[in-house]
Amino acid sequence: MINPNSSANRLAMDPDATRAMSDLARKDPKEAVRQAAGQFEAMLMGQLMSSMRASSLSDEEDSQEMDTYRGMYDQQIVQTLVQAGGFGLADALSGYLLKSMPDVPAEIAAEQPALPTAPVVRKALGAYEAVAAPQQALAAASAGEPLSDSKRSFVDTMLPHASQAAAKLGVAPEVLVGHAALESGWGQRAIRHPDGRNSYNLFGIKASPVWKGEVVATMTTEYEGGVAQKQLGAFRSYPSLQAAFDDYARLLSDNPRYQQALNQGQNVAGFASALQRGGYATDPAYAQKLQAVIRTVASI
């Protein structure tokens, strides 16, 4: 295992790590190989973070300050992942290089790990997403990022429909609009029927056997053992936005699992945590993400 206290761990914040690596290479070439492999993995994770952030936030109008703030979060997340052991790529790469070096005992060479298999990589990416996504959402909320016109329009459209349902649940209407924004991607990930009709399913509510209304199938992300996986799921379909909010209010008020989420008023953390404890979603970072989006809505 790569030493978490090595220069690879300092890469996210320490630009002098390369100079230190040169000194180490002269003193202990084998340890230098291990640490260089760790730096390579850290840089790869940094590139992956940058690519994922650019893809997921490509429709947002970012200021220079927001770009800097997110960049700081990127660095911290990479460092956290390195400390947790990374993807295993550093160990595999250093093992491969050490085998080709002279004066390496046969027993040590035989113990070096093989390159990561596809399941290992998928698991690592799932863990990465679980760490990175809530940090990105919290960064946006904490930095006071201005909402785009499309998001403001979403909030303005949803607030009148949310008022009655919010009163029934005992929470602020902005709480429900924030939940709808998280589940629907601010209205950009609408669940549609094969013919293009909108299902108006703003809250990602699945169609259980007791559901008597229309059903629509779509791909969804579920977490098993903390790892994100794509699955095909059956979801409820509604005739209107108001019907969607009304059914959401019935679900939360009638289901014993969500009783702790009721009557929370403007207590965003209490509402979000209660939903996660009740099993509303399998994402281990769901409460953090929900809080960040609700606070963004409430800041308007």
Q: What number of other Cβ atoms are within 10 A of residue 22's Cβ? A: 9
- Among the listed residues 91, 174, 183, 247, the single catalytic one is 247
Strand partners, 222: 229
On whether the CB atoms of residues 27 and 21 are closer than 8 A, the answer is: no
On whether the CB atoms of residues 174 and 294 are closer than 8 A, the answer is: yes
201: three-class secondary structure by DSSP? coil
Check the CA dihedral 80-81-86-90 and report its sign. Answer: negative
Least Cα distance to 155 among 273, 266, 299 occurs for 299
195 noted as active-site residue: no
Give the H/E segment covering residue 111: helix 106-111
- Among the listed residues 222, 224, 254, 283, the single catalytic one is 222
Q: What is the DSSP string of 70-101?
A: HHHHHHHHHHHHHHTTTTSHHHHHHHHHHHTS
The end-to-end CA distance of the chain, in Å, is 48
CA distance 182 to 203: 8
Check the CA dihedral 202-206-212-217 and report its sign. Answer: positive
Read off the tokens for 167. Answer: 């009163």
Residue 37 exposed, middle or buried by CB count within 10 Å (0-12, 13-18, 19+): buried
103 noted as active-site residue: no
* Positions marked catalytic: 222, 247
